[in-house]
């Protein structure tokens, strides 16, 4: 593991010297008169305090909203409803939960040419957004797309603002995201994520590697907000079940001097974050 802490595959830029980890025992540990340890502990919950460092106000907003659970995900395993219970606002060609999936039990299948599905998942009138999903056309493999309101695009973790995404339409006035099928072939979607902010440039490659199982890891979908998968060097490798955390608190942004990624900066913005296993 090369990162101190990762949240849903995204390497967290922790300010050097500002990370703490505290296991919280649930239950009691006592000793009998002869000194025998009596443990009634049911489990251990992991707790982290970190300062997330960034130099761009836009990046700071993204990190804060991620930790606060802003955004929605759709795994399409059993229904067309997402992590916050949001179903389609419109559809065409009868989208179905289908066995062809990148992860889990199913993906959303769209009928060739006419198929589409729409979600009113963004604040009406909001100017910032990101849409991420795995998309498969006909007999091809799944590709991972990330598209932001700034016009930045990634496919399979590589920045490519020219890649065709004409099948994606975001109507900011109504906050609606529409996904169309390929013009000639059946299309399958999986692991759809919609954020009300632009993701930082470093995130898409991390998320693709996480979902693709790069380096021999298990391919993993982006977790359902507001619960986020957590791993990294701070997590005990002997307790791999410690994978789910919820954000316990997000503090104010401060400006400090310090070291980030081995480089000293006079002014770094930091966000105080507490993460606790859910």
* Mean pLDDT confidence for 80-94: 96
In the chain, the percentage of residues whose pLDDT exceeds 90 is: 54
Nearest CA among 158, 225, 198 for reference residue 59 = 198
* Mean pLDDT confidence for 172-182: 97
* Mean pLDDT confidence for 8-16: 85
Q: What does the pLDDT look like over 42-75, one tens digit per residue? A: 667 778 888 888 878 888 889 989 988 899 999 9
Select 1-69+227-278's CATH number: 3.30.70, 1.25.40, 3.40.50, 2.40.30. 2.40.30
Structure confidence at residue 242 as a pLDDT band (50, 70, 90): very low
According to the model, what pLDDT value does residue 265 have? Answer: 74
What is the C-alpha separation between 157 and 206, in angstroms, rounded? 7
* Mean pLDDT confidence for 29-54: 73
Q: Where are the domains of the chain?
A: 1-69+227-278, 71-225
According to the model, what pLDDT value does residue 1 have? Answer: 36
According to the model, what pLDDT value does residue 272 have? Answer: 85
Q: Considering the domain 71-225 in this protein, what is its CATH number?
A: 2.60.120.200
According to the model, what pLDDT value does residue 39 have? Answer: 64
Query: What are the b/e assignments for 157-188, b being 16+ CB within 10 Å?
Result: beeeeeeebebbebeeeebbbbbbbbeeebbb
What is the C-alpha separation between 258 and 123, in angstroms, rounded? 36
Residue 30 vs residue 126, higher pLDDT: 126
pLDDT exceeds 50 at position 167: yes
Tokens of 209: 């590697």
User: Considering Cα of 247, then 252, then 253, then 257, what sign does the dihedral take?
Assistant: negative
Q: How far is CA 87 from CA 95, 124, 149, 259, in A?
A: 12, 17, 23, 44
Contact (CB, 8 A) for 222 and 211: yes
Residues in the chain, total: 278
According to the model, what pLDDT value does residue 235 have? Answer: 75
């Amino acid at each position: 593991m090369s990162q101190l802490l990762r949240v849903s595959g995204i390497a967290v830029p922790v300010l050097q010297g500002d990370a703490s980890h505290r296991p919280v025992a649930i239950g009691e540990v006592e000793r009998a008169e002869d000194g025998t340890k009596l443990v009634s502990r049911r489990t251990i919950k992991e707790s982290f305090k970190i300062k997330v460092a960034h130099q761009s106000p836009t990046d700071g907003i993204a990190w804060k909203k991620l930790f606060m659970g802003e955004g929605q995900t759709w795994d399409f395993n059993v229904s067309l409803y997402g992590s916050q219970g949001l179903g389609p606002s419109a559809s065409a060609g009868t989208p179905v939960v289908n066995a062809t999936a990148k992860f889990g039990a199913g993906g959303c299948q769209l009928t060739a040419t006419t198929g589409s599905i729409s979600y009113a998942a963004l604040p009406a009138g909001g100017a910032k957004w990101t849409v991420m999903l795995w998309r498969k056309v006909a007999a091809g493999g799944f590709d991972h797309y990330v598209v932001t309101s700034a016009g930045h695009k990634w496919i399979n973790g590589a920045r490519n603002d020219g890649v065709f995404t004409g099948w994606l339409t975001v109507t900011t006035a109504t906050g609606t995201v529409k996904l169309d099928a390929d013009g000639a072939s059946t299309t399958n979607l999986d692991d759809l994520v919609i954020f009300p902010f632009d993701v930082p440039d470093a995130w898409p490659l991390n998320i693709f590697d996480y979902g693709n199982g790069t380096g021999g890891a298990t391919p993993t979908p982006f977790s359902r907000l507001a619960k986020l998968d957590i791993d990294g060097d701070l997590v005990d490798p002997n307790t791999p079940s410690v994978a789910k955390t919820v954000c316990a608190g997000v503090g104010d942004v401060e400006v400090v001097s310090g070291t980030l990624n081995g480089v000293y900066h006079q002014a770094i913005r930091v966000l105080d974050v507490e993460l606790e296993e859910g």
